[in-house]
Amino acid sequence: HLAFSGDGKTLAVAGAATAVKLWDVASRLERAALGPHRGGACFAAFRADGSALITASRSGLARIWRRAE
């Protein structure tokens, strides 16, 4: 699952891996890995205002990651 931040600067990638990876779109560099997610991460979505990223795992666990100020 792929999700772009509202400003288009960050791409979140959730897949078979246990972590959701955040990529800087302009530089194509990995910025962070969020997790672990038991059973693998399967969903990622940014809040419209960009203040948080919501992720979910195949085990049913959902997390809210708030942006550090």
Buried residues in 52-68 as b, exposed as e (16+ CB within 10 A): ebbbbbeeeeebebeee
Residue 10 has what pLDDT? 95
In this prediction, residue 67 carries a pLDDT of 78
Q: What is the pTM of this model?
A: 0.86
Q: With contact defined as beta carbons under 8 Å apart, do 22 and 33 qualify? A: yes
Q: Are 13 and 28 in contact (CB under 8 A)?
A: no
**50: how many CB neighbours lie within 10 A of its CB?**
13
pLDDT of residue 59 exceeding 90: no
Whether the per-residue pLDDT at 36 is higher than 80: the answer is yes
